[in-house]
Chains A and B, each alone.
Chain A
Amino acid sequence: DQQVKQNSPSLSVQEGRISILNCDYTNSMFDYFLWYKKYPAEGPTFLISISSIKDKNEDGRFTVFLNKSAKHLSLHIVPSQPGDSAVYFCAASGGSNYQLIWGAGTKLIIKP
């Protein structure tokens, strides 16, 4: 049973608009969350993280929001650019999970 779920396999967004990628988790002990981005034929690269003591973390065009009561986090990209087209993975850790637990990824397509 997946502890980290990315329910949208793909998302298409117009260039310049906001992209919102969602991630849900089931383990209330998770206290650290990360987003990675993956281009074809490359490995995932770290994008942004958030600790459970915060509900928002921002880095340039990328903002991650954490809603602990809903066990939900989201990644906002504003404005979306063609280079943002990639697969985005959500990952979580904490409690007895001393390793990263990954979601299956969401493929983001930015339309020009």
Chain B
Amino acid sequence: ETGVTQTPRHLVMGMTNKKSLKCEQHLGHNAMYWYKQSAKKPLELMFVYNFKEQTENNSVPSRFSPECPNSSHLFLHLHTLQPEDSALYLCASSQGTSLHYEQYFGPGTRLTVT
């Protein structure tokens, strides 16, 4: 248990659906992250939030829309996804955005787009 929870753990959605992934951290951290991990590939950073403000958007398609209402919660809203978006989506948090702060990861949401 890392103090970072993600729901749902598994999600199957059609290309026309709209769904949301939720992440919550109980560590008092100020920074939160969304990563994508496709099979056999490195983790790819998608978004970074620091004190609820988005500080990074790594050229992520607009069909992925993040939301950070407070430092403890992070959402990833999904709409009109493509089959190649099927992947493990990992949320992480850290004390700050300095890379010397350890990132704590949630267990991930396994997303399948049909």
Contacts and interface: CB of A to CB of B under 8 A. Distances in A.
Interface residues of B, number: 23
Interface string A25-67: 0000000100000000111111001000000000000000000
A23 B100 CA distance: 19
Given A32-B99, A99-B56, A100-B99, A45 B42 contact: no
Q: Is the interface of B mostly helix, strand, loop or mixed?
A: loop
B90 interface: yes
B11 interface: no
Contacts of A99: 45, 48, 56, 58, 99
Interface in A43-97: 43-46, 49, 89, 91, 93
Interface of B: 2, 4, 40-45, 48, 56, 58, 90-92, 99-100, 102-108
- The 5 A-B pairs of least Cβ separation, nearest first, read A43-B105, A102-B42, A102-B43, A93-B99, A46-B102
